[in-house]
Amino acid sequence: MDLNETIFGNSYLLGKDTYVDGKHRILNITLEDYMRELRFIDHTGPVHSLAVVWYIHFGDIYITQIYDHDTGEIYWETPYEEEYTDADDEITNALLMYGDLESVIGVG
């Protein structure tokens, strides 16, 4: 399995699925803010770049880890199936839908 790494600066925007007045909307949110909202990042200090580690298996992309590219602190790793939460699903779906992992390498 060949692992890939995509590095996102703290201003990189993802789409966040939400509902406003009963209507489905996509809101722009930075990856860092999304990670904080989902409580994967729980410290108050800044995060300047987040690295997403991923691989392709039979044409599908799988995310294995999200970490602080500057410090090496790991904020998210693929949980065991029985530990997988809605927050895990939400961040991985956002990255797969809006992160453009295959073509974005080192974007600020």
Inter-residue long-range contacts of 85-93, CB under 8 Å, 24+ positions, other chains counted: 87/38, 87/39, 87/40, 90/38, 91/34, 91/35, 91/38, 91/40, 91/66, 92/63, 93/17
Tell whether the model's pLDDT for residue 108 goes beyond 80. no
Whether residue 8 lies inside any domain: the answer is yes
Which residue segment(s) compose the domain that 46 sits in? Answer: 4-98
Q: In the predicted model, what is the mean pLDDT of the chain? A: 90
The set of residues, in sequence order, having a beta carbon less than 8 Å from that of 48 and lying 6+ positions away, is: 9, 10, 69, 70
User: CA end-to-end span of the chain, whole Å?
Assistant: 27
Question: How many domains are there within the chain?
Answer: 1
Tell whether the model's pLDDT for residue 107 goes beyond 60. no
What is the model's pLDDT at position 103? 73
Whether residue 29 lies inside any domain: the answer is yes
Whether residue 13 lies inside any domain: the answer is yes
Lowest mean pLDDT among 75-79, 84-88, 100-104: 100-104
How many whole angstroms separate alpha carbon 52 and alpha carbon 26? 22
Strands (E), 21-77: 23-30, 49-57, 60-68, 74-77
Whether residue 83 lies inside any domain: the answer is yes
Whether residue 81 lies inside any domain: the answer is yes
Whether residue 21 lies inside any domain: the answer is yes
| Mean pLDDT of all residues in 20-49 | 93
Whether residue 106 lies inside any domain: the answer is no
Whether residue 104 lies inside any domain: the answer is no
Q: Quote the tokens at residue 42.
A: 């729980």
